[in-house]
Structures are given as C-alpha cells and as structure tokens.
Chains A and B, each alone.
Chain A
C-alpha cells in the first residue's frame, strides 16, 4: 500500500474533473459573475454590484413577482411532499409484501409515466381535463358528480394544485422504486424474529421497516426538493411562460425563463436572469445544507 499522493488516482480523476469543470462548475461560476453586471439598451455590460439583487427584492413589481414565484414553488414542493412521497411509500410497502400477485406488472405500470416526456404528459392531462373535449366531466357525471366539474387548469384557485398533481402522477415511480429497493434490502430474519415474537404486520412496518428506511426517505426528500425548485418544463408545457391565470402557476423556473430569455415584448435580460438563477441556486444550496446539518447527521444507520 502506497500512502500519500498517488499519480494513478489523479490520472483517473482527470477526465471526469475536466468535464465537470468545463460543463458544470465554470458555467455556474460565470452565472454568479453575470448576476453582478447590468446591460444598457445597446447591450453593453457594466459592473453593477448587488443592484440586480436589490431590484429583485426591493422594487415592488419585481419583488411581488419573485415572492409570488417563491411561494408557488414552496406550495409545489409541499404538494409533492404530501402526496407523492407518502403514496410512493405506500405503494412500495404494498409491493414489497410477500405473495402480491403481479407485483412486477404493477411496479412497471406505476413507473411508466416517469419515462414519458413531460410534453406528452402535459398534453394528455390537458386533454383529459379539457372542458370541451375532456372525459373528466363525463366520468364525474357517471358518478353523479357532474356539477363538481370545473375548468381546474384555468382557475386561479386550482391551477397550481392541478399542475402539481400532474407532476406527482408522473414522478411517483421514482420514490416508489427507491423505497422499494430499500425495503427489499431488509433481511428476512429480522422480520421473521418479530413475527415469532408476536408482532402484527402493522407494528413490524412502523417499528422495524420504517426506521430502517429512514435514510432513503431523507434522500427522496432532498431529491424532490432539488427537482421541484428546478422545475420548469411542466408549467411551461401546460400554462406557457406567462404561467397564468394571473401568475398563479408561476414558479422560479418560469420567472427565470421570462427574465433571461424574454417573453413576447418583455425584452430578454441575461444579467437580471443570471441574478434570478443565482437566487434559485442559493435557495437550493441553503435547503440542501440545512437538511444535511439538521437531519442527515442525526439519522442512524443500522448495520444489517
């Protein structure tokens, strides 16, 4: 065993490091830099320090748009945490039970939407929910709930919730798979010992299986958080970059898009867009750091 610096390790690290630096680290640093500049109408850039950030947080129009997007993004994340992950856990728990017939088929079916393109998902759900050609009104009618039907995607009160549920429907396969993998990794003899002791399946789940998969649940939470705060494509597909009605589905991703690339007659502003992107980066960074400090360190892992 050699100790100290090893050339071999350096050589093997080099390709990955180069690619990562070139396509990930450098663009990120350049975005941070660009957010400190401003451009005049002729596109000439000059250093502006924290001006962009002050504008975003203090100008009434900007700050209203920003905090609205931030609040919507938090709701978007909240809906995923309340629906996607618990349902994913439930499905995984059911699938990992013994003697479930066709469990492989179910697993595939639940996972399928994840593989489809977001554009297709958005389009299909828009059609299903469409007040003109959709089937949802008729289906509700069959249940005698025809009066309950509303153009959910077009109402300020329900648009964000509806879009979030579409996203939940699409991505539920991922937490399900991760948790399922953790569940089947639990050694049988622990569960059998508990059974011999007279524990009910219910108790076994709450007191044996759940504590053992907590690290995975933490991982799922953090993955959901990062994905939701980077979300853009579904909203853009279903509601466009204006994220209507009245910006009720506007999240940080769509706000960034409008700012950076411009939209209709809103002229593109790469410098302001970079500032918005930097704020998004900081939000995600703080979220992840907070999670690691507060939660990850306390998680107990059991050597199985």
Chain B
C-alpha cells in the first residue's frame, strides 16, 4: 500500500514536472505568406532540438498587423513571441513596457551592431528584439521579354527609360508593373529604393535627421521627378491597380519590369512560372557609386506578459543560431539573415540581390528611423504623396514641401 502511494506520488511528480516543462509558445507575425514554411520547415527544425516546446505560428495580414497586435497586447491576449517591425513601431511597444529588454541574451553576440540598431533605444543601451533578416529592394525583369527584344539590363536612369520606351513601343506587355491603389509600394518599394542613389544613401538620411538637409533639397525632389516620369509606362488604369494586381501582371508574363522587394522572390517562386532576374536601382549617370535600400526589416521579441518567458528565450536563442540563419535565408527566399554566420544563398535571384551589398553602399529606408515618429506620421504621408506624384495629381515640389512641413511641425532639427 505504502509503496503504491509512493508510486502514485512519484508519478504525479513526474507528470507535474513534464507539464511545467511542456511549454506552449505562440508567435505573432505579419508574414502570412510564410505560414506554411514556418509550419513545415522552421518549427520542425526547432522541435528536433527542443521536442518539449510546442510553437504555434499565428500571423495577421501585414496591413492589419500593427493595429491588431496593439489591441491584443493591450487586452493581454497577444502571443508570447512578437515579430518586431523595425524602429519606431517596436520602440513604442518597448517604451510602453509591452516587450522585454533582451540585454545580455547570448544570441545577440551573433549580430553586428548595425543589425541591432533597428531594435534598440535611441541611446543604444537596450536591445529589445532578436534581429532576423533584412530585405533588399530593386527591380525584377522578365528574362524572356528582354531576350526577345534584345534588351540589356539598364545601369543608369537614361538606359532605364530607354528600355521602357522600347518595351512601350513594342506594345506587347506593360513596361512597368506598378499601381497606386494600395499606396504603400510607392514609398517602400519605389521612393526609398530609387532615391538612395539620389541622396547618397546613409549620407542623405543622416543629414535629414541632423537637420542639415531638407526634403525640399534637389536630391529628394528629383526622386519624385523620376517617379512622375514613370506614369506613362504604367498599365492603363494603374490608379486602381493593387499590389496583388501588379504581382499577377508580372507573374503571368504580362509585364516586363516589376519594382520589387526581395520578399517577392518567394511569392513568384511559389505562384508563377515566370523566368525572372533582378537588377539594382539605376544610378543617375554612368560611373556613380550605387546605393541600395538594404532594410533591416524583421526581428522577434518577447511579450512582457508572456507566462512562458523561459521557453521564449530558448526560442530566441535558436533564432540566433546558424541553423536558423541558413534555413530562413534559403527557405523563406528573399529574406537575408542579419547574423554574422556565413550563409550560402542558393536561389539565383536572391544571390544576385545579396551580391549588390559588395558592389554598392547599403542604406535603410529613408524615413524608418526617428522620422516617422511624430504626427503626422511621415510613413503614411509618403504613401499619400508618392501615389499622388505617380498619379500626376501633385508636383514633385509640392510633395517634397508637404513632407518637409509635416516633419518640421514636430521635429526641432528640421525647422
């Protein structure tokens, strides 16, 4: 009888222990497109090492992500792991105490300082998200169309418009697959990507933050000028064309050039048969130094109200491992790991894009750091004026003035 009792007690103890250890984690993310990759590749790889931690990937679509996450964090129903947007949006969560500081987390050693900046306080003292990956912006082109018409990949803006003219004259496919209905592409894929060559990447970006430059200076206005020049090459009725429409146009081979973010690689690999290559944003004149928008885009932090922080830390450490860096770069094609590990990029288009890092100078999206903090939000303003410039409803000068005025309203150095 006694031994029986002991047995029961012992087994109860073991059961309790396993219960305490069998952690459940939920990941909040905006990467709806990668759900299957997480479930079929990344999480099983994690479970090979940590079979006792069950992880669920629960994404929300990108436009709703920030608002839905905010609501869930406030209500206390958010997941344990929070996928972090870069800079101010996540900084706001940290300041409100909704995500934890990761200072001293062993995984952080694997990331260069430049990769951590996007998820640090302004003074650089606290890091609150484990960096994951960056995205690179450029252009995709339909190889078959280029070969049939004997077109060369353009290096300069003049060549770029020359190519567009030839494609337009041939009249078979749309020269540029871009629409302004969803608005965000006009900033994140167009303005901050082609503009880096105009404002010399980091140099221009830092000068704006320091108040030494204004948006009304020529290098910023001329970027809007180029955007306005794109209008005649866009498909008919582009004002009502959504991002999905643009993807479909290029994916079905009905457009020659597609202004892209590297994350689009995995979309086209999965959903289309188009044979495409990539070229970097054209420079203003031959021989100029080139700049690319190489944007620290995605990281992960811990919900400060999570009941299971121990397991969440284990997961973040795995995110910093070489194994994850390799899987993420090669399976979730178009996201480039930010860690110091040497990773072989296998996809040819992704390989092409990452090779630009050695030829050009990298910069992040112009307005990502500090500038989108105030009211009016510069990110949203840029969407609006960018699409109006391409719709030819607003002159480049007016666009630049509106952004500068909004910036000066709350930012002392910009006054």
Contact = CB atoms under 8 A, between A and B. Distances in A.
Nearest to B237: A131
A43 B183 contact: no
Given A267-B377, A270-B74, 10 more contacts: A131-B235, A151-B241, A154-B239, A242-B380, A245-B183, A261-B70, A263-B380, A264-B63, A264-B383, A267-B88
Contacts, number: 127
Given A61-B375, A132-B245, A247-B384, A264 B238 contact: no
B63 A132 contact: no
Contact of A155 (B70, B239, B242, B383): B239
Contacts of A27: none
Nearest to A65: B376
B236 interface: yes
Given A257-B67, A265-B89, A245 B393 contact: yes
A41 to B, nearest CB: 5
B180 A154 contact: yes
Contacts of B245: 130, 132-133
A3 interface: no
Given A130-B245, A244-B183, A268-B70, A151 B238 contact: yes
Interface in A79-97: none
Given A242-B183, A265-B379, A132 B388 contact: no
A222 interface: no
B125 interface: no
Contacts of A268: 66-67, 70
B71 interface: yes
A131 B240 contact: yes
A222 B387 CA distance: 37
A24 interface: no
Q: Which 7 A-B pairs have the closest CB atoms?
A: A131-B237, A154-B239, A154-B240, A261-B67, A151-B240, A151-B237, A265-B379
Interface in B218-258: 235-242, 245, 248-249
B97 A43 contact: yes
Contacts of A257: 67
A264 B97 CA distance: 20
Contact of A61 (B235, B240, B383, B409): B409
13 contacts: A131-B238, A132-B237, A151-B237, A151-B239, A151-B240, A239-B181, A242-B384, A247-B384, A261-B67, A261-B68, A265-B378, A266-B379, A266-B380
Contacts of B180: 154, 244-245
A166 interface: no
A105 interface: no
B142 to A, nearest CB: 17
B384 A244 contact: yes
Most buried by B among A132, A156, A246, A247: A132
Interface of B: 63, 66-68, 70-71, 74, 88-89, 92, 95-97, 179-184, 235-242, 245, 248-249, 372-373, 375-380, 383-384, 387-388, 391, 393, 406, 409
B69 to A, nearest CB: 9
Contact of B71 (A131, A261, A266, A267): A261
A2 interface: no
B236 to A, nearest CB: 6
A156 B235 CA distance: 18
A226 B244 CA distance: 34
Contacts of B379: 264-266
A61 B406 contact: yes
A242 B241 CA distance: 15
A130 B245 CA distance: 9
B92 A267 contact: yes
B97 A42 contact: yes
Contacts of A245: 180, 183, 239, 387-388, 391, 393
Interface in A235-274: 239-242, 244-247, 257, 261-268, 270
A129 interface: yes
A241 B92 CA distance: 21
Contacts of A267: 88-89, 92, 373, 377
A150 interface: yes
Contacts of A270: 74
B71 to A, nearest CB: 6
Nearest to A266: B377
Most buried by A among B238, B375, B378, B379: B375
A161 interface: no
A152 interface: yes
Contacts of A132: 235, 237, 241, 245, 248-249
Given A263-B67, A264-B379, A267-B92, A154 B384 contact: no
Interface in A251-304: 257, 261-268, 270
B380 A130 contact: no
A153 interface: yes
Nearest to B87: A265
A156 B183 contact: no
Contacts of A240: 63, 182-183
Nearest to B88: A265
Nearest to A242: B183
